[in-house]
Chains A and B, each alone.
Chain A
Amino acid sequence: MERGHSIGSTASSSDDSTSLDRGSVTSGAPSSFAPAHHQHQPSNDSNSSSSTPGGGTLGRNSTSSDRDSHRDSISLRPTFMQKFRPAVATKFMQQILQTHLQHKVYNADEAQRMSKLIAEEVKAKLIELDLGRYKYVVNVVLGENLGEGARMDARCYWDQESDGSAQAFFTNDSLWCAAVAFAVFYY
């Protein structure tokens, strides 16, 4: 995901013959951000280290009884209605980023709370879709906008037909935020 570029994703499978193939989800091109901002030398490194993720915040939800009941049966494909559709997810993710971050100024203390809030909200929305046999991973990166170069992308080893990812990107004068959601079908 690249700042300054529109977010487009190309999901491609390298090998169509296998059912579990490697799909690569890549977007954006190398950063072309002007180096004019380089006078922002790391005056105090504590800024970057204090707010770097350490171990990331990982909320884990164990399976509910409803999800456990799926374990008794096996399904090879999601039904037409229950398939994960990136376009739907992208839409509400963009909306969530907009509502939370518009006119906001980067603040290291608040970034932690905000990125977690956004991630939780995206996850809640995904669960609301009620697709049943999907597991979700939501990743939110919230950074300060000082004109630094950044690049974010992912590669997945999964079933191209049933699994998918959606991403949204937001930026203003003070901060940038990228949200990526992965939906993984379990059989």
Chain B
Amino acid sequence: MAPEEKHKFDVKAATKILEEVVKKVLKEATYRSDLVQEWQSTIYQETIARLTTHLKGGTFKFIVTSTFLESIGAGVHISSTSLWDAESDGAAVYRFENKSMIVIVYAFGLSV
């Protein structure tokens, strides 16, 4: 049973939401361990609020994860794997980088 178009997780729109939110929150920020939690909280709140309003037609559960890394030349790799209905569910990822940090934000949308 193929889901209708509106019940599909819109990866493009979600990526755009992530990009806008992350850029807005971080702008020219420099890595500070005491501020990271605050940034993450703001990012989650805005992203989930926008995802739920944007994808009103579908019934989704969302998972938003973010990784903040201080950029001192250390390597990092992220892998993600999932078991889900590929026709309705999806993942959006956005990577933000500036001189002091690397930020990777994932948004997963899973239809219920």
Neighbour of A143 across the interface among B1, B76, B84, CB < 8 A: B76
A130 to chain B, nearest CB (A): 12
Is there an interface contact between A53 and B71, defined as CB atoms closer than 8 Å?
no
- On chain B, the residues within 8 Å of A118 by CB distance are 79
Per the CB 8 Å criterion, the residue count for chain A at the interface is 80
- On chain A, the residues within 8 Å of B104 by CB distance are 52-53, 56
Is there an interface contact between A152 and B64, defined as CB atoms closer than 8 Å?
no
Is there an interface contact between B75 and A143, defined as CB atoms closer than 8 Å?
yes
Q: Does A17 contact B (CB under 8 A)?
A: no
B98 to chain A, nearest CB (A): 12
Is there an interface contact between B75 and A139, defined as CB atoms closer than 8 Å?
no
Is there an interface contact between B82 and A61, defined as CB atoms closer than 8 Å?
yes
Interface SS, A side: mixed
Q: How far, in whole Å, are A136 and B110 apart by their CA atoms in the complex?
A: 10
Q: How far, in whole Å, are A31 and B71 apart by their CA atoms in the complex?
A: 14
Q: How far, in whole Å, are A150 and B71 apart by their CA atoms in the complex?
A: 9
Is there an interface contact between A140 and B80, defined as CB atoms closer than 8 Å?
yes
- On chain A, the residues within 8 Å of B111 by CB distance are 186
- Residues of chain A touching chain B, judged by Cβ–Cβ distance below 8 Å, are 20, 22, 24, 29-33, 37-38, 40-45, 47-48, 50-63, 67-68, 71, 106, 108, 111-112, 115-116, 118-120, 122-123, 126-127, 135-159, 163, 180, 182, 184-187
- Residues of chain B touching chain A, judged by Cβ–Cβ distance below 8 Å, are 1, 31, 33-34, 36-37, 40, 44-45, 48, 51-52, 60-87, 89, 91, 93, 95, 97, 102, 104, 106, 108, 110-112
